[in-house]
């Protein structure tokens, strides 16, 4: 393991080495150890993550993580078939819900995106079948202007293409940076650092994972 990789690891009091972001806060630690990077095929979980990544824009993921149960209750468990039926009164109710992020644009985008998710299911058979088409064949470098010294990218050609395709399909609040964070979380890539206790477990899960079939 290189010195650079080592600098992005942290060993907590439990003696386990984790990615630097997943060691200190208990909520982050559980999310890192139990969820992040594990391949996901469930349509509603995929839609939840897309939606929450949109709500995170301008905020920390920890803020969203701590509100996640409130979001799930407010958005019908992220069943996009139900969320697509939300109307103006639903928006007004959500804007009064202190348990979530009360941002009209993000709320309306989530409702809009639910309808677009239904369209994808009609076309591809499932949201998962559409999403897993975008798994890269190999790790991709960061793309963008200026120096970028972090070992993990924030925008790749695939995340850029995924964002562009969803935008063309009418989705909102899902730019290329958000798309890559989604890909990391849902297991389309394995960005647990070398030396992280979860890296090999996640890679084994990815290798065993069976992609959903297209219609």
Instruction: Quick: pLDDT tens for 66-106.
Output: 999 999 999 999 999 999 999 999 999 999 999 999 999 99
> Binning pLDDT at 50, 70 and 90, where does residue 23 land?
confident
Residues noted as catalytic:
31, 53, 61
For residue 3, the model assigns a pLDDT of: 45
> Binning pLDDT at 50, 70 and 90, where does residue 123 land?
very high
Whole-angstrom Cα distance, residue 194 to residue 198? 9
More confident residue, 13 or 137: 137
R_g of the chain computed on alpha carbons? 18
pLDDT tops 60 at residue 5: no
For residue 1, the model assigns a pLDDT of: 43
Whole-angstrom Cα distance, residue 86 to residue 109? 12
* Token pair in block for residue 144: 């963008």
Give residue 127's Cα distance to chain centre: 14
The full DSSP string for 111-173 is: HHHHHHHHHHHHHHSSHHHHHGGG--SS-----SSS----SS-S--HHHHHHHHHHHHTT--S
Share of the chain above pLDDT 70, in %: 97
pTM equals: 0.94
Q: Give the closest residue to 30 by CA, choosing from 72, 65, 67.
A: 65
Whole-angstrom Cα distance, residue 48 to residue 67? 13
Element (H, E) at 9: strand 9-11
For residue 205, the model assigns a pLDDT of: 98
Average pLDDT (15-27) is: 89
The full DSSP string for 30-48 is: HHHHHTTT-----HHHHHH
Residues counted in the chain: 215
> Binning pLDDT at 50, 70 and 90, where does residue 149 land?
confident
Region of poorest pLDDT, from 18-22, 92-96, 144-148: 144-148
């Amino acid at each position: 393991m290189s010195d650079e990789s080592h600098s992005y690891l942290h060993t907590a009091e439990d003696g386990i080495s984790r990615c630097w972001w997943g060691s200190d806060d208990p909520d982050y630690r559980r999310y890192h150890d139990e969820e992040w990077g594990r391949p996901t095929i469930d349509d509603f979980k995929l839609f939840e993550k897309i939606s929450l990544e949109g709500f995170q824009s301008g905020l920390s993921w920890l803020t969203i993580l701590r509100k996640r149960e409130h979001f799930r209750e407010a958005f019908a468990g992220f069943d996009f078939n139900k969320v697509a039926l939300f109307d103006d009164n639903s928006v007004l109710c959500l804007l009064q819900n202190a348990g979530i992020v009360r941002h009209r644009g993000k709320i309306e985008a989530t409702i809009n995106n639910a309808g677009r998710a239904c369209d994808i299911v009609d076309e591809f058979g499932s949201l998962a079948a559409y999403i897993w088409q975008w798994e890269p064949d190999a790790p991709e470098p960061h793309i963008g202007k200026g120096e970028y010294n972090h070992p993990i990218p924030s925008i790749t050609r695939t995340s850029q293409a995924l964002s562009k395709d969803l935008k063309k399909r009418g989705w909102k609040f899902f730019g290329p940076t958000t798309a890559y964070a989604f890909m990391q979380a849902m297991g389309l890539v394995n960005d647990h650092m070398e030396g992280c206790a979860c890296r090999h477990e996640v890679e084994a899960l990815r290798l065993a994972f069976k992609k959903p079939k297209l219609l």
